[in-house]
Amino acid sequence: MADQILIPPAPCPQCTPAGNECMVSQVLEPTDPTLVAVSSGSIDPAITEQGSLDLNPGDKIVSVTFNAMKCNENYRFEYLYVDNLSGEVVLQGYVVPIPIAQTVFGFSVDLTGQAIVPGSILRWRVVVIDLSVIGDLLDQPQSLYLQLPMVNLFVVNLANPRSTTDYGFDELRVENLADTPSAQTPIAVQVVAKTQTTFTIAMSPSPPTSNYFLTVKVP
């Protein structure tokens, strides 16, 4: 049952001007769509979180990983913007971050508009807008399309958790649709670790540019 919200007592208008004879309190019953703080006064990290991410010049698509898994992926952005308060660069326009993927573990945005310059920071805050049970997503099929970093090991967060670690893949491959075939390097991918919420791949060689993406389908 959701916590009740108690409004501090107010003087009764029918009492004396001093308002000492009686006090009136009003109790508001929260509705299902209304999210409130827990009884201790703190905010449930599965419901809301905020943070910032330092951006690098040339960034086009960036991903944010939550500190705490959200209770579902149906959350809204209370704010999502890029600023540059370093004073190192005079901005000539705007950077517009557009969400392109949301999971219970984090989200990805496409940075459009002005190119990223040194000192730019992505600032964000998310709030879950309903309290659906995460169990509804258990073992549901999913497809992921993720930009690969230029490293040998990469941890993938599953949007829908698995009930065991015995799951397989209908598709697990690397593609590059930006560079010409003659300029590309074939990337071999191998799964080296699995949990119910993540899996880790080893890549040989590591992607030489940021134009390589991982396509994943889990049945």
Fold of domain 48-128: Immunoglobulin-like (2.60.40)
118 contact partners, CB below 8 Å, separation of at least 6: 57, 86, 88, 89
141 contact partners, CB below 8 Å, separation of at least 6: 160, 217, 218, 219
Please state which of the ranges 3-12, 103-112, 168-177 shows the lowest mean pLDDT.
3-12
Look at residue 82 in the predicted model and tell me its pLDDT.
93
Average pLDDT over the chain, rounded to an integer:
80
Q: Which of 40-44, 49-53, 156-160 has the highest mean pLDDT?
A: 49-53
Look at residue 55 in the predicted model and tell me its pLDDT.
93
Going from N- to C-terminal start, the domains of the chain cover 48-128, 138-218
Look at residue 39 in the predicted model and tell me its pLDDT.
40
Query: CA distances (Å), 91 to each of 56, 60, 98, in order?
Result: 15, 17, 19
Question: What mean pLDDT comes out for the span 1-18?
Answer: 51
Question: What mean pLDDT comes out for the span 32-52?
Answer: 64
Residue that wins the pLDDT comparison between 131 and 112: 112
* Bond from prior residue into 205 cis (ω within 30 degrees of 0): yes
| Residue 95 clears pLDDT 80, i.e. is over it | yes
Please state which of the ranges 12-21, 117-126, 145-154, 160-169 shows the lowest mean pLDDT.
12-21
Question: What mean pLDDT comes out for the span 85-92?
Answer: 69
Look at residue 161 in the predicted model and tell me its pLDDT.
80
| Residue 127 clears pLDDT 60, i.e. is over it | yes
